[in-house]
Structure formats: C-alpha cells, structure tokens
C-alpha cells in the first residue's frame, strides 16, 4: 500500500490549525423552519430548545428565534418570536437566564416538590400533575404553571381517566393560581396508526372533565412537529399553542411539511492511502477490499457524534460526490472509499457527513435512517466534541404556508 505524500500546505486553511471536525448550524434555516411550523399550526409556538437545542446550541438558537434577551434588538424580532421556550431541566433554565434571557420558559418535564423553589426563582412555568407538587407551587405563589395530562405516552402527567383525583386540588387553585395551560404529548403523531386520534379524544375528555375548574383563558396545547404536519393550519383540534422540536432543526418528520436542512457536519481528510485486494479496514476487519481501492481517513468519529451504527452503511460527500463509509467508525476517525475520485481526493479536503456539499445534501433524517438510529440521538450527539459554527443564510425561496400566526394566542372565544 502507499500513502499520499505529506503536503507542505496547512490542512485546515479556513479554520484554526487545530480544528479537525466541526458542525455548522444555519440559524437562518432554523428561523425559517420556525416560521413554517408556526404558519402550518396557525398558532404561536413554544420552541423546544431542551438538550442544548437538540445539540445545536440553546442560547444561539433562542436568540435566532427572536426570544427576548432584554436587548433593544429583540424588539424587532418580537412579532415572530416564540410564545415561550421549552426546556426539560432547571439547569437549562438557569443557563438561559444567565445569558440574559427574559422570555417565558416552560419546563415540560415533571418537577419534584424539592425543585419548586428553584423553579420559582428562575421564573419557570412548570408542568405539574400531582397534588403534592401543585400544592407546593400554590403555597409558594409560584406563578403561571401548566397541567400535564397523560393520554398514552405513559411517562408523565395525570392519566386522562384519573383526572378526577385532581378536582379538589384544582378547586383550591381556581381562585388562587389556576393553570395557565393544559397539555398532552402524542407518542406517534408521525405514524398513520390511529393513535393520534385516540390520544386526542382522551385529551378532550380529560379537559372536559375539569372544564369548570379551568380559567376561561386557559391555553390548550398538544402538537409536536409531526402533529403540526398532520394537523395543518385548520387547527381542527382548537389548540392555542404548538410545541415544535425536531422540526425546527431540519428533520423532515413527514413529507407533507418539508423543512430546511439546518446542520452540516464536516471533517478534514487527514490521510489517503492505496489498498490491495483482500486488505481490510478498521477494527474487527469488517470491510475488505475486493479490488485495489483508495481509502481516505477523515478526522471524525463517534466521539464527535458520528455514530458507530453508520459503519459500512453511511456515506459522505467529498467534492460533492457520495462516497461510502468503509470499516467500523472509530472514536476519532472514519474511513471512506474514495476510489471513484481518483487523485482528486487529497489530505486537507473536506468531507461532509451530514448536510450539503455542492448540489447534493445528506439530510439529518436520511443519515439517521441509514444507520437505523434515531434522528434525535444523532443531533444531540453532535455536541460531544466537535465545535459549532453559526451561519445565517438568507432565504432561497418561499418557506411556509400562506396562513400566518401572530405571537398572541387565539382569543378565549375560540377555546374549548
């Protein structure tokens, strides 16, 4: 076998010399995806920025979406800003507040009684569903809160068919601090199996059972990205907020609502070598050359979030051409068969593993499907090691439906 000669030129000419792999995040695409999801839902959105905005950077994403950080520039973004930011931990809320975010923050993961003082101090709107925690929140005059109802997800919220157990607690809250909102979460909105309709009916049943204890202006919400794509702007279920997550970040949950690719995962070619027939690549020799091949080693591995499940399955783009991943993805490096590129692939070239290069694009959802992994896990894993860079591209065409939603929930007359 033979290696390509060592180049005297720096192999990272447009990045710091120490940079081997990186993640580009298109804030303009995030913003346009939010606009399209809002228009499709026909109601304001709670932008889910939990898990560091699905691995892409919670604070930069929140700023790009127009969330209020107490700065004069935020006023110009206000008409399209999310109604609130959605989080899962109080640590995430603290991080937003530490950076000056004064926007509404909704924590959709249950809190314990011990979490209540910190949630109040951070001005978080908690999702509550049991008498003890609701009682503690009321006793502390904690502020706005949302009632979580489980309609089949079976992970959090009061069961739809057991909500009568909360009537006494809700009665106590009615004239003191009633819930600002009431919500559920769909487990399979992207699957045409009838489960969304079942959960929706359960939710309506539960809300109707406590309607007399809810304020007239209570905000009812249920739709994640997939449910927004299914429901459209007709708002047939008469919701007042929607909670997109993965759709903001460019995953096409359903063909009916195409969204822009947000992420580009890149790394440098750090070695190119020729191999003979029968020689193997990487750990456990899971790939063997069936003819003379040219193999490029790229400085990206599972420690950067490129999953081992993509071994011998994934593809990358080099000079806009698709080339296969060969051998097992290792912690720090991945190998590509660049035989088809001939001498065009050299040390220092950029390989794109997610996102666009030239006329071709490897979409986040497609890459995840190739490895039979969750696109959520793929995105979240990108925060492991590779640094993130932010760009703000202009729109290249119309994005979104004709219907527009303001930043204010619908009037109380439209509420069930």
Q: Residue 402 — very low, low, confident or very high, per pLDDT cuts 50/70/90?
A: very low
Q: For a pLDDT cut of 70, what percent of the chain falls above it?
A: 87
pLDDT over threshold 70, residue 139:
yes
Whole-number pLDDT of residue 74: 57
pLDDT in tens, 54-68: 999 999 999 999 999
The count of domains in the chain is 2
Q: Residue 76 — very low, low, confident or very high, per pLDDT cuts 50/70/90?
A: low
Q: Are residues 19 and 34 in the same domain?
A: no
Whole-number pLDDT of residue 396: 61
Distance CA 290, CA 288 (A): 6
Distance CA 78, CA 74 (A): 6
Question: Among 16-20, 74-78, 288-292, 337-341, where is mean pLDDT lowest?
Answer: 74-78
Whole-number pLDDT of residue 72: 61
Question: Does residue 62 form part of some domain?
Answer: yes
Tokens matching residue 44:
């304001």
Nearest to 317 by CA among 351, 364, 272: 351
Question: Does residue 11 form part of some domain?
Answer: yes
Q: For the whole model, what pTM was predicted?
A: 0.90
Tokens matching residue 259:
């969204």
Q: Which of 209, 229, 249 is the last residue of a domain?
A: 249
Residue 354's CATH number:
2.40.37.10
Q: Is 283 a known active-site residue?
A: yes
Question: Does residue 239 form part of some domain?
Answer: yes
Q: Is 376 a known active-site residue?
A: no
Distance CA 291, CA 299 (A): 25
Which sign does the torsion angle of CA 369, 370, 374, 375 carry? negative
Q: Are residues 60 and 113 in the same domain?
A: yes
Kindly name the residue from 54, 249, 283, 390 that is annotated as catalytic: 283
Q: Are residues 219 and 270 in the same domain?
A: no
Nearest to 177 by CA among 131, 145, 129, 209: 145
Question: Over the chain, what is the mean pLDDT?
Answer: 90
Residue 93's CATH number:
3.20.20.10
Distance CA 45, CA 30 (A): 13
Q: Are residues 136 and 179 in the same domain?
A: yes
Question: Does residue 254 form part of some domain?
Answer: no
pLDDT in tens, 161-213: 999 999 999 999 998 999 999 999 999 999 999 999 999 999 999 999 999 99
Whole-number pLDDT of residue 405: 41
Whole-number pLDDT of residue 410: 46
Distance CA 62, CA 59 (A): 5
Q: Are residues 140 and 206 in the same domain?
A: yes
Whole-number pLDDT of residue 7: 46
- Residue-range definition of the domain harbouring residue 328: 2-23+261-391
- Three-state DSSP at 246 gives helix
Kindly name the residue from 12, 50, 306, 390 that is annotated as catalytic: 50
pLDDT in tens, 231-250: 854 445 668 999 999 999 99
């Amino acid at each position: 076998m033979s290696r390509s000669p060592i180049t005297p030129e720096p192999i990272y000419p447009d990045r710091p010399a120490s940079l081997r792999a990186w993640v580009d995040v298109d804030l303009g695409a995030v913003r346009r995806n939010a606009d399209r999801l809002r228009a499709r839902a026909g109601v304001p959105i709670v932008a889910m920025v939990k898990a560091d905005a699905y691995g892409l950077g919670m604070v930069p994403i929140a700023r790009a979406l127009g969330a209020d950080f107490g700065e004069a520039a935020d006023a110009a973004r206000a008409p399209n800003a999310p109604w609130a930011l959605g989080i899962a931990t109080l640590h995430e809320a603290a991080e937003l507040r530490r950076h000056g975010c004064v926007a509404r923050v909704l924590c959709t993961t249950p809190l314990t009684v011990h979490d209540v003082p910190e949630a109040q101090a951070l001005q978080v709107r908690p999702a509550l569903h049991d008498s003890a925690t609701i009682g503690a929140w009321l006793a502390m005059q904690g502020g706005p809160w949302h009632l979580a109802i489980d309609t089949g997800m079976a992970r959090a919220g009061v069961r739809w068919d057991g909500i009568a157990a909360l009537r006494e607690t809700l009665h106590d809250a009615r004239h003191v601090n009633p819930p600002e909102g009431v919500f559920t979460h769909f487990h399979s909105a992207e699957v045409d199996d009838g489960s969304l309709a079942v959960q929706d009916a359960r939710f309506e049943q539960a809300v109707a059972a406590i309607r007399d204890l809810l304020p007239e202006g209570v905000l009812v919400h249920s739709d994640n990205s997939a449910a927004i794509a299914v429901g459209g702007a007709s708002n047939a279920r008469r919701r007042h907020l929607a909670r997109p997550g993965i759709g903001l970040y460019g995953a096409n949950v359903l063909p009916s609502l195409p969204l822009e690719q947000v992420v580009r995962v890149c790394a440098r070619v750090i070695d190119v070598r020729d191999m003979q027939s029968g020689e193997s690549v990487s750990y456990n020799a899971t790939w063997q050359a069936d003819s003379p091949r040219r193999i490029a080693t790229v400085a990206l591995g599972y420690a950067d979030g490129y999953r081992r499940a993509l071994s011998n399955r994934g593809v990358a783009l080099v000079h806009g051409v698709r080339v296969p991943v060969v051998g097992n993805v290792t912690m720090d490096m991945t190998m590509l068969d660049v035989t088809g590129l001939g001498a065009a692939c050299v040390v220092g070239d950029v390989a794109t593993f997610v996102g666009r290069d030239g006329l071709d694009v490897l979409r986040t959802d497609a890459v995840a499907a190739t490895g039979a992994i969750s696109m959520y896990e793929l995105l979240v894993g990108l925060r492991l090691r590779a640094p993130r860079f932010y760009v703000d591209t202009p729109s290249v065409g119309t994005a979104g439906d004709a219907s527009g939603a303001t930043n204010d929930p619908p009037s109380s007359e439209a509420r069930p």
